[in-house]
Every structure is written in structure tokens, then in C-alpha cells.
Amino acid sequence: MPQVYNWQLGRTMEYPYEERHPKSQFAFVFNTNRCIACQTCTMACKSTWTFGKGQEAMWWNNVETKPYGGYPQFWDIKALKLLDDAHQKAGATMGWETGKPGPSKPYGEYSGMTLFEAARQRYGPEGHQRVLGYLPTDEEWRFPNIYEDTSTAYQGGRLGISAEGASLPEHKSWFFYLQRLCNHCTYPACLAACPRKAIYKRPEDGIVLIDQERCRGYRACVEACPYKKPMYRPTTRVSEKCVACYPRIEGTDPLSEGVPMETRCMASCVGKIRMQGLVKTNPDGSWVEDRQHPLYYMVKIEKVALPLYPQFGTEPNGYYIPPRWVPRPYLRQMFGPGVDEAIDKYTAPSRELLAVMQLFRTTQKMLSRYEITQGPKVYETTVNGKPWAMYNDTVIGYDARGREAVRVTVEEPVHVRPAQYANSI
Ligand code: SF4
Ligand code: SF4
């Protein structure tokens, strides 16, 4: 089987196809700390793409409550269990060597097997699978946010309140929202598993699509995708998945002025937790150094946003700023060994990070570059015993044609309404 380089794992891995990468890659960053689970994103997607017959239980975008929730139910627990069983059978351990991180291995090196490599451990009547996976039952697809707002059991103690006052340590009782859509992976499991070669990754933007004419509904993609984002439509008898709102990415939306626009789920986000863009890639799949690109900055320079279950091996292109209050072992399993650094960076953000985070949901246009002009110091405090200051810098975002798309300050302007509008009730 060909070997490809997966930079999220810091090593080469087996993949059924030779390396071939798009010119640029659809990618996004979600700040889990800010999501309020309003599901506006979910409904924006549903009302655009999946409102037809046979799509009733289809949610290309969903927001689920962790640790118990999942759509389909138990998707990640089941994938992790398969991976764990394969390691036990092979007498291997799943882990990370975090000793020598570098640009080509920012989180260290994954020493376990991916879902592609572990597939050889499970033989069936037709040989081993191309990707270790499973088909969810119909029942598991029924609820887009089962166990909504259900927290882990409260184990005593005064939650988050210490002698020094309220704080945000890891809570004994916790939940958080995980926003999910297709990750338009660099090494898609869905594509690798399709016996009809009906799935392809677009060379211009890395969007992964299912050719509806070629698909015969075998559901190999549904079985293989660890994130369970391809879905079967019984009325057409073919599989469907997130199309990354490609007309908007192509700049053909009437409001786009010819530049890429963010997808519907991103553009509608009420909590301002989402930012999306196209990152340029080298022929070997690594990201072209682009210091002033907001996604490059957050993922590669600041390392505040991390991939979801990198150990699966698909090199997903969705990145998450992890929630601060959740026990670290749970987060390390979900986002890899970069969790502690990411949370430290987010808890006491650098001057630049604080400015860049103001760009979330300020425009529907995808931003290709940002600049910061410095402003005065407006606030000082200590965070985790260290001094921290806030500056009222101005951050300017530019669209794909280099035109200014947005200009915001770190301090949000305060508007005092004249007394005649005071609530008279
Ligand atoms: S719209 Fe934004 S805040 Fe609301 S559920 Fe979706 S990601 Fe969370
Ligand atoms: S998330 Fe799943 S459906 Fe999307 S590209 Fe990756 S493997 Fe394919």
C-alpha cells in the first residue's frame, strides 16, 4: 500500500492511493468555548441542502453535546473501540511520542495505528476492510443532539469556586458542544473505501464530493468515514454528504463580488465561533507558509486550534479550540497532545491572537490575510499568576482579491441609547 505523509501524525502512513494534493484546501476553525448550541448553523444547512424527501434524518452539520451525545449515536466511541480492539489484537499500543515536535510534526509523532493501518487486523469473508469502520443502525441516526445539555455526574466539591473566588479549572461535572461537519479530509476514508470510485477531492479547493451518477449506494463510505458524515438517502438509493456550499466557495453567490464566501453554516453562526478559509498547499500536502492568513496563524503559528481525532489518520481539515473546563485526558484523546498548549494560549491570549479572534463572523467573505494596527493599552490583570494586558488594536481582514473586507477593534464599541428609547414597561 502507498505511503503518504500525515503532518498531524508527524509520520508517513499507509493510504490506498498515492499522494496528490489540491492547490488550496478548504479548512475551518471552531472555538468550542463560545458555542451556545443554538443550532442556527444546523438549520442553515438543513434549509439549504437537506430539506427533501428521504433527507429527514440527514444533518450534514450538527452540534452535539459531549460526552454523551453523538450523531449518529456513539460514532466516536465506536470508532475508538474498533481502533482499540485492533491494537489489542496486534499487541500494539496507541500513543504519541511528544519528544521532538517540529514544523513537520507539530504535535509530535503518533505511534499507534490509524484506521487505514488497523484495517488489516479485521478480516471478514471478503478479506480485510480498506478502512476500519462500521455501519450505524437506522436508530442511531434518529437524533441530531441526543442527551442535549446532559452533564457528567456531579462528584461533590464546590464546582469551579475556590477560596479565591470563581475560577475555570477542570470541572468534575461538565459537558460541552462539539460542532461537526465533513472535514474534507486530506486523506478521506470515504474516498478510499468507495468501490465505484464515485468520490473525488477537487484539485482546486480540496472539497470532497460524491458523484451522484456513479454512486450505487453500497454505503462503503458511510461505513468507512470515522466521523460518519456521508449519509444514505433511501429515496434516491445513493449516498450524499456535505458539499461545502461549493457555489459560495467558487464566488458565484450574488453577494460575493466574485470572491469566495463562507458556507451557510459558518456565515450564520450566532455565537461567532466559526472561521473558514482556503489555505494554500504545497505539492506534498503541507501548508504553504502564509503568516498573515488567519487560519495559518491559529493552526500553525499559535497552535491554538487542533484537529478532531487526528489518530484516525484522515488528516481532517477542521480545527477546534478546545474547551477550557473539560478534563484534559478526555480532550487529549479527542484533539491529541497539543491540548495543554492550546488551552494555555487561549486562556491568556497573546496580543495578536486576541486581535485575530475578533475577526470571527465579521464578514461572510473568506479572509485571506489580516493586518493589525496597534492601539493603546486598555486593561491589565493577572492570568494564572502572570501579568496580562489588553490593547485596543485594530484588525483588518482582506478578501481573496486583497480588498479590505472588514475592520474591527479589540474593544467592542459601546452604544448608549438615548433615554427616549428606555423600556417603558
Ligand atoms: S450557530 Fe454557532 S453558536 Fe449556534 S450552535 Fe452553531 S456553531 Fe454553535
Ligand atoms: S469527514 Fe468523512 S466524509 Fe468527510 S472527507 Fe473525511 S472521511 Fe470523507
Beta partners for 289? Answer: none
Please check whether residue 414 lies inside any domain of the structure.
no
Q: What is the CATH number of the domain that holds 9?
A: 3.30.70.20
- Is residue 97 located within the same domain as residue 175? yes
| Residue among 107, 72, 67 nearest 330 (CA) | 67
- Is residue 108 located within the same domain as residue 247? yes
Query: What is the tens place of the pLDDT at every residue in 29-39?
Result: 999 999 999 99
- Is residue 92 located within the same domain as residue 117? yes
Residue 188 Cβ inside 6 Å of ligand 2? The answer reads: yes
Check whether 159 has a pLDDT greater than 60. Answer: no
- Is residue 204 located within the same domain as residue 77? yes
Average pLDDT over residues 70-86: 96
- Is residue 296 located within the same domain as residue 379? no
For a substitution probing ligand 1, which of 32, 33, 36 has the most ligand atoms within 8 Å of its CB?
A: 36
Residue 178 Cβ inside 6 Å of ligand 1? The answer reads: no
For a substitution probing ligand 2, which of 62, 71, 185, 231 has the most ligand atoms within 8 Å of its CB?
A: 185
Please check whether residue 423 lies inside any domain of the structure.
no
Residue 298 Cβ inside 6 Å of ligand 1? The answer reads: no
- Is residue 376 located within the same domain as residue 261? no
* Strand 377-383 versus strand 386-391 pairing type: antiparallel
Tell me what pLDDT residue 170 has. 63
For a substitution probing ligand 1, which of 274, 275, 360, 361 has the most ligand atoms within 8 Å of its CB?
A: 274
Please check whether residue 418 lies inside any domain of the structure.
no
- Is residue 259 located within the same domain as residue 306? yes
- Is residue 280 located within the same domain as residue 358? no
CB atoms within 10 A of CB 344: 14
| Residue among 341, 340, 306, 336 nearest 321 (CA) | 306
* Strand 404-409 versus strand 394-398 pairing type: antiparallel
Q: 73, 143 in Cβ contact below 8 A?
A: yes
Residue 206 Cβ inside 6 Å of ligand 2? The answer reads: no
Please check whether residue 93 lies inside any domain of the structure.
yes
Cα(365)–Cα(362) distance, integer angstroms: 9
Please check whether residue 346 lies inside any domain of the structure.
yes
> Nine-digit cell at 138?
437506522
- Is residue 289 located within the same domain as residue 389? no
Q: What is this structure's pTM?
A: 0.94
* Domain range for 395: 352-409
pLDDT above 90: percentage of residues in the chain: 85
Q: Which residue has the higher pLDDT, 261 or 165?
A: 261
Tell me what pLDDT residue 166 has. 46
What Rg do the C-alpha atoms of the chain give, in angstroms?
Answer: 22
Q: 4, 106 in Cβ contact below 8 A?
A: no
Cα(59)–Cα(144) distance, integer angstroms: 7
Q: 30, 320 in Cβ contact below 8 A?
A: yes
pLDDT category at 89 given cuts 50, 70, 90 is very high
Query: What is the tens place of the pLDDT at every residue in 341-376?
Result: 999 999 999 999 999 999 999 999 999 999 999 999
Query: What is the tens place of the pLDDT at every residue in 243-278?
Result: 999 999 999 988 889 999 999 999 999 999 999 999
191 Cα–ligand 2 center, Å: 8
Check whether 80 has a pLDDT greater than 80. Answer: yes
Please check whether residue 415 lies inside any domain of the structure.
no
Check whether 107 has a pLDDT greater than 80. Answer: yes
Tell me what pLDDT residue 164 has. 46
- Is residue 186 located within the same domain as residue 54? yes
Tell me what pLDDT residue 125 has. 62
pLDDT above 70: percentage of residues in the chain: 93
Tell me what pLDDT residue 425 has. 59
* Ligand with an atom nearest the CA of residue 360: 1
Cα(332)–Cα(371) distance, integer angstroms: 32
Number of domains in the chain: 2
